[in-house]
Structures are given as C-alpha cells and as structure tokens.
Amino acid sequence: MRRRFGSAVFYLTLGFLVGLAVASASRRSRPGAGSPSRPAARELRVTSAGSAASILFGSSSEDSPAMWMSQGRGRGSVQLGVHGNGFPFVLVSDAAIRNFGLVRVDGKNASPILVYRSDDVVRLVFGLSMTEAGRPAFLAHYTADGARHDFLGAYCDHPSRACTR
C-alpha cells in the first residue's frame, strides 16, 4: 500500500513537471513575446519633444487594432485601423470629426466606400453597391440642405444601416 502511494506521488510529480514544461514552451512560442530587437507591446506612443503631436498604436474600444495621429491643440487627426467587425477604415478629419474624408469597406458585399462629410453633413458618397448583386458603381452627392443627387448608380443610405447588413 505504501509502495503504491509512493509510486502515485512519483507519477503525479513527473506528470506535473511535464505539463508545466509544455505550458511554458507554448507561452514562449506565442507572438508577443518577441526578442528585444523585435519588440512587441500592447500599446506604442510616439511623441516629439516640445510638440503636442503624437502617434498612438493600440487597441480601439472595439478591441481592434488602430492607429491615431494628431497634432494636438484641436487640429485634425488621422485614424486608421480595423473595426470590430473586421472591416478596415482610414479617416482623415478635423478634431471634432465634423469634416472628414473616410475610406472604408462595409456591408455584406464588403464593398469599398469613400465618404466626404462637411460640417456634420455627408456631401459625397462614392463606391460599389453594398446591397445589389454584381456590386454596380455609385456616386451620390448631397446639397447643403441634405437633398441627394445620384450622379451614378444608386446609393442606399437608409438611416437604420439596413443597407450594410
């Protein structure tokens, strides 16, 4: 009985050490544990001395990779990255994001879209259809009072975003 207990402890210890070694090896092989010459981090901020300008690489509130570039003091900014649903975007805007140019991919067709907004009003949308088969091209522009003019094709701009689902 005593011998069997000793044997059980031995095998338990041996198994524990093997399991620990396997876990340690798998942790080391993860990306992120890079060598000092190839650093990996959760966030990187690039600043310049005597300037409010900065670049930030990190995760967005949607837990997606993104980069923010700004000059500070209420000026414009550039943001680029991937939305939580996997669609990429590039946004060039003023600090309040009331005026911007946006390049993005959206909708069930993963359609490329280009949007210009001025004073919080979308003035031009250009791209491939997010809803129609064959993804025909469209170009819609808006007057300052919001009236839409389809210059080319048809743009679905339902406010519920039904067109992008």
- Total binding residues toward another protein, as defined by CB under 8 A: 70
65 counts as binding another protein under rule CB under 8 A: yes
CB of 3 or CB of 145, closer to another protein: 3
63 counts as binding another protein under rule CB under 8 A: yes
> How many angstroms separate the CA atoms of 106 and 91, rounded?
14
> How many angstroms separate the CA atoms of 56 and 69, rounded?
7
The helix (run of H) or strand (run of E) holding residue 25 is helix 2-28
Q: Which of 77, 79, 81, 125 binds another protein (CB under 8 A)?
A: 81
Ranges assigned E (strand) in 94-158? 100-106, 111-118, 121-128, 137-142, 148-152
149 counts as binding another protein under rule CB under 8 A: no
CB of 32 or CB of 159, closer to another protein: 32
> How many angstroms separate the CA atoms of 17 and 9, rounded?
12
Residue numbers at the binding site for another protein (CB under 8 A): 4, 7-9, 11-24, 26-28, 30-44, 49, 57-59, 63-67, 80-82, 86-90, 103-105, 109-112, 114, 126-128, 134-137, 139, 152
